[in-house]
Amino acid sequence: MPKPLVHTLKLLFTILLLWLVFKSVDVSRVARDLAAFPAGTLALLLAALWGSQLLCSERWRILAGALGMRGRYLEFVQTYFAGMFFNIGLPSLVGGDAVKAWIISRKAGKPLLPGLASVLQDRAAGLVTLLLYGSIAIGLRPFTWKGLPLGTLYLGAWAGIAAVLALILKGETICRKLEERVRAPRARKALGYLGDFHRALALADIGKGAVWRVAAYSFVNSALVLGIFHQVVLASGHPVDVVSFAALFPLVTLATMLPVTLNGMGVREWVYVEALFLAGVPRDSGLVISLATSALILVCNLGGAAFLWKVPGGLSRPGE
C-alpha cells in the first residue's frame, strides 16, 4: 500500500486503541493518581534503567566486533544512547536502531547491512532472554485472557523465533534458488541485498567466550528491566508478585513491537491495562502504571541527547 495510506491507517488504529483504553477508565482519577506518583522512585528507577543500557552497549560491542566493527566501549555507549534518542521521533520503537546501524557502519567503514545485522542480533539476544523469563513465569503462574491461555502466545513467539533461525540456516540456499528463477533486474538486486544480509547474520565470527558473555549480559539486563518496571507497579500501591509480572510484561513488549500503530502508542496502553487487570490491578490503576512506564522510557531515551557529539577518531578499522 502507499506509505501515506499506511501511516493514516496506523494513526486511525492508534486513536481507536487509545479511545478504547480511556473510555474504560475514570480519566479524572487517572490524572489524580498520576500526579501523586512518587517522583523520587521514578528517578531511582530511571538511573537503574540507564545502567541497564550500559550493559546493552557492551553486548552490542561484542556482536558488532564479530562482524568487523570494533571500537572502544565508550564509543558504543555514545552510539547506543544516540539511537535511544532517535527512538522518540521515528515512526516505530525500533526506528532508532536504524540510526545506530547507520552510525556504526559509517564509523567502521563498513556497508550498512553488517551494522543492521549487529543491531538485530543485539535486539534478538534481549528478546530471547526476556521470553525465557516469561515462559518460566507463565508456567508457574498460568494466565488466561478471555478464554485464551497466555502460554499459547509464548508458544507462538518461540515458533516465530524457530522459523527465523531456520531461515538464517537455510537462507543462502533459498536465495540461490530464487536467483535462478527470477529474471527481473530489481528483484535480483533485492535478492542480492538479502543474501548479503543473511551472510552478515549467519556468519559472524564470534567465539564461545563471547557468546557466553552476550548471554550473561542479556540475562542480567532482562532481569533488571523486569525488576525496574515491576517496581513501577509496586510504587502504584498494587502488590503484584514478581512472577506474575514476569509472566505478563514480555507479552506487553511483544505487542508494542508490532508495527500497527505510531510508535507503539495505543497498543502499549491497551495491552498493559488488560495484562495487569489479570493480576488484580484495576484498569484505572493499570493505565496510570502504563503512562508512568511510558514516561520513564521517554525520559530514558531523552538522555541520549547528551551523547550526540562526535566521537574523536571514530571506531577502529578491522585489524587496528
pLDDT digits (tens, 9 = 90+) for 136-153: 999 999 999 989 999 999
- Between CA 240 and CA 208, with CA 125 as vertex, the angle to 5 degrees is 130
Alpha-carbon dihedral sign for residues 285, 287, 290, 292? negative
Measured between alpha carbons, how far is 261 from 263 in angstroms, rounded to an integer?
6
Domain housing 266: 30-307
The predicted model gives 88-93 an average pLDDT of: 52
Whether residue 69 lies inside any domain: the answer is yes
Q: Is the pLDDT of residue 291 over 70?
A: yes
Whether residue 180 lies inside any domain: the answer is yes
Give the count of beta carbons closer than 10 Å to the beta carbon of residue 227.
Answer: 15
Whether residue 314 lies inside any domain: the answer is no
Measured between alpha carbons, how far is 206 from 204 in angstroms, rounded to an integer?
6
Whether residue 8 lies inside any domain: the answer is no
Whether residue 17 lies inside any domain: the answer is no
88 close to 302: Cβ distance less than 8 angstroms: yes
- Between CA 153 and CA 159, with CA 158 as vertex, the angle to 5 degrees is 95
Whether residue 96 lies inside any domain: the answer is yes
Q: Indicate the number of domains in the chain.
A: 1
Whether residue 318 lies inside any domain: the answer is no
Helix, strand, or coil (residue 148):
strand
| 201-255 confidence digits (pLDDT tens) | 655 567 788 889 999 999 999 999 999 999 988 888 888 999 999 999 999 888 8
Measured between alpha carbons, how far is 69 from 65 in angstroms, rounded to an integer?
5
Q: Which segments of 87-111 does DSSP mark as H helices, in order?
A: 95-108
Cβ-based neighbours of 83, under 8 Å, separated by 6 or more: 96, 97, 99, 100, 103, 304
Whether residue 37 lies inside any domain: the answer is yes
